[in-house]
Amino acid sequence: MTQDELKQLVAREALKHVVEDAVVGVGSGSTVNFFIDALAGIKGRIEGTVAASETSAARLKKHGIRVFDLNSVDELPVYVDGADEVNEHLYMVKGGGGALTREKIIAAVAKRFVCICDASKLVGVLGKFPLPVEVIPMARGHVGRELRKLGGHPELREGFKTDNGNLVIDCHGLVITDPPRLEADLNNIAGAVTNGLFARRPADLLLLGEAGGVRALSARKA
């Protein structure tokens, strides 16, 4: 099976976790695009969605699926999103597409986070994928220096602006042995809006697309 076929497989499997007559949280990225396309097939059975990026919102609307402002939503039973890396504790590195801040906000609101990935995303130790950090433009230099102090090699994502009008620094070379701790340390850097570590609010379920089918993994206790 190709990587896209694996992504499509987990995207379809995620439909089983969608709660009927409720609002669904929808992340962003290529795997989520397959989920959005699959969701279109059951759009009459959900109230609507909230979206983590303008790109996802546009795709949902193209399918005739309602997209709500998160502020108008009281309850979000399920959030479905991909990841750039995920480990056995269902801690993730996210933000490859630059939507990390809105993704983290929706994940915080959701009761249940279902992560959908192809098998290549499951890793032993997080950090091979450069860790994205969304940054207020005037803090770019300061955040870069702080990331260097933590042992990282920051690189500005050239020509990229987030949906919130900010910049993204991709931090290479971090060996992330204590993800919740590093997430908190990065949260403390002035001018860093969000970092792509999702450890304090990990996924609740991982649907992993493998050659033999979909494997469902719950978090192993840290």
Using the rule CB under 6 A, is 28 a contact of ligand 5RP?
yes
Lookup: tokens for 62:
């193209």
List residues with catalytic annotation.
103
Site track 30-49 with ligand 5RP (rule: CB under 6 A), x = hit: xx------------------
Site track 78-97 with ligand 5RP (rule: CB under 6 A), x = hit: ---xxxx---------xxxx
Collect all residues with Cβ–Cβ distance below 8 Å to 1 and sequence separation of at least 6. Answer: 9, 209, 211
Q: Vertex 178, ends 32 and 162: CA angle to 5°?
A: 40
- Give the Cα separation of 4 and 9 in Å (integer): 9
- Give the Cα separation of 198 and 39 in Å (integer): 25
| Candidate ranges 22-30, 37-45, 156-164, 211-219; the one touching ligand 5RP (CB under 6 A) | 22-30
> Shortest approach of ligand 5RP to residue 84 CB, angstroms?
5
Using the rule CB under 6 A, is 27 a contact of ligand 5RP?
yes
> Shortest approach of ligand 5RP to residue 208 CB, angstroms?
13
Closest CA to 51 of 62, 66, 64, 41: 66
- Give the Cα separation of 34 and 9 in Å (integer): 9
> Shortest approach of ligand 5RP to residue 180 CB, angstroms?
18
* Tokens 């750039």 sit on residue: 84
Nearer to ligand 5RP, 79 or 189 (CB): 79
Using the rule CB under 6 A, is 209 a contact of ligand 5RP?
no
> Shortest approach of ligand 5RP to residue 95 CB, angstroms?
5
C-alpha 2: how far from chain center: 22
User: Applying CB under 6 A, which residues contact ligand 5RP?
Assistant: 27-31, 81-84, 94-100, 103
